[in-house]
Structure 1
């Protein structure tokens, strides 16, 4: 409503067909909205993945936990609550297997150090790096079963390793590497490092190729040696990939050592190399105690999730403490 020259008021009308948008329409058409916009399309694309994850992960975990709460009596199942967990936790063999897994965790920093050192060495030898990278990747191509059988023969009392030590004058280091309870677990850990460090080499090498060259060159122009420049400049830029590899290595040691131990020692000698996953296998298929195996598997799963979450939180705290 405005006034004209004669003093009367004239109403201003909107153009024909024009309407004022409502706040509801604005919200519903907002990009990224949950109800409107592309929200439903995004949800539609995610739904098949959510269903697939539920089928291949959530339902098996639910079945595992449910089985751990029952005791099989022939064709019947009796609900026993947490009794199976009490039996497992009271079993000295289970506690020994968990302790062995914790001892094998020492292999994680060793794998990180070996992989990082070799990746930096390959980075410095760029002309021959592809050939050496292929040679180093060969152990990862070979199946764990084949590698385990080969090492179980090499590490016997009269195996290739002891013969090589004799040949170079180090016969006093001869050991029954897999037959001595005191060193059998460390021998298995050495084989795990030999194979699993390869993944770290590949990851670290790929990250090194994406780093900008200017900071490293500037550090060297300031008088730093090549390796000191890598320590002070290159490695701090790789914290993310190092953390990722550390978490995957922790998961490997926690729940994926079965193949190594089963093929090389089957938990011996005298349960010296018994690990949690082998304990679960033996309860399930050797003594047919599926409910106890389910309880042990649930405990191991919870422990692995807790360790991964703790490692992720620690990595986040470390990144927050870094200078911007």
Structure 2
């Protein structure tokens, strides 16, 4: 016979009646623990009545409007993927009260690759799904739709799908001597200046290739990373994750003295590239052409239409970087990306 815990909701202001609630447990220990916790919640003044039974589709729509719509394109695509899979798994009309811990674990355990390639879904991708689900259902708790987040971190020591640690990967570290060897193989001051801005100033590649000469103060050795509004000729630039962390805000960064020579030469040549320090005149022309197609709602450079991203200013930069690394005879022992230079 199950153990039951009863409690009453708040009195209806019109009828004076109180809704009676009950929760059943298989073991007396679980019932007593719930009773103790419930009484503590009521003593703190928390709501006596159960949260409104909201459907999953409504939660996802409200979460998108409130917390996703203003994120970057990449972040929106990540949330969109997770939300589509939640809808497929549970259905739009599933009440949130009918998504518990067991359902959350089942959802996480059954995620598969969707890119057509063989193999299991990576731990990184699983962790992203879990992060999104925790944020979505955490908002449901904040908004009073749920009492608990079914995707909250697991306290169990077992192999719960809610206990995911993305696998760390080795990182390529470039020491100053190697950077000097690397620069010796880079043929142009413009490209050397771009690497200096990443290695010496810590700028992201997208920030470097969106940088214009009016944001560089050579006399005081400073570079200003600021958002830029779009025009008919050039796309907008948005500092990654703006207003989300200290690193991501608009900022002023000092320029190391060793970078001044190459940066000065790059600034001189930037007048032929619309003022963009890291772009060639040819690449600047391609950017203008691609931006025109993007504004017209058409695809460009082999892409289907999508919002413009900071990295769309670049072309084959990583390919050239790997070639310079080979020419400099630098031993690459880990995956090499442009982020390596930061």
Structure 1 or 2, whichever has the larger Rg, is: 1
What is the TM-score with the length of structure 2 in the denominator?
0.28
Higher percent of residues as strand: 2
* Higher RCO, 1 vs 2 (CA within 8 Å, ≥6 residues apart): 1
